[in-house]
Amino acid sequence: MLRGEGPRLFTVEEANRLLPDITEQLHHLRMIQDRLWKAEKDKAVEELSWLREDGTVSPSAQRNIELLEQRLERAGKEFEVALEQFAESGAQLKDLQSGLVDFFTARDDSLVFLCWKEGEDRIRFWHEIETGFAGCRALKEF
């Protein structure tokens, strides 16, 4: 089995035990992402709403835009921290919107992924690293 330097390797049981925490982290990441998207939208609306004919914005609108930029920056940093915390678990976030998460494991001295999608009660699939989600196979084939 693969050992030493490299990604953290999980057994199916270890990965399954992490799923409640992973689910909570996915919800947290989406909440921050929603704030980011809202701040981006609000900033764009503010910029367009107060655009003068000469292409400039009023000083009051500029101040609002600066506040929105600060909000964007804070949410961006919070998102980065949350992503780092997620990565520290050893899980690989593949798609935040669908809740697709992989866990490295070893199979016949090869590195593969245990595959989980939010909403599933446990890990039921695995795939080779090169095949991605489309190549998922049932754990009984593991």
Over residues 76-134, the pLDDT tens digits come to: 999 999 999 999 999 999 999 999 999 999 998 899 999 999 999 999 999 999 887 78
Distance in angstroms (rounded) separating the CA atoms of residues 109 and 9: 12
Looking at residue 140, the DSSP 8-state letter turns out to be G
Residue 1 has pLDDT above 60, yes or no: no
Q: Note the pLDDT tens digit of each residue in 10-53.
A: 999 999 999 999 999 999 999 999 999 999 999 888 877 777 77
Determine, yes or no, domain membership for 4.
no
**Which residues sit opposite 137 in a β-bridge?**
126
> Is 2 part of any domain?
no
Please give the mean pLDDT across all residues of the chain.
90
User: Cα separations (Å) of 31 from 12, 14, 36, 58, 82?
Assistant: 28, 26, 9, 32, 11
Q: Classify residue 36: in a domain, yes or no.
A: yes
Round to whole Å and give the CA distance between 84 and 22.
Answer: 13
Q: Say if 5 falls within a structural domain.
A: no
Residue 108 covered by a domain: yes
- Contact criterion met (CB below 8 Å) for 76 and 89: no
Q: Print the domain residue range for 72.
A: 12-141
Number of domains in the chain: 1
Please check whether residue 3 lies inside any domain of the structure. no
* Residues 117/103, Cβ–Cβ less than 8 Å: no
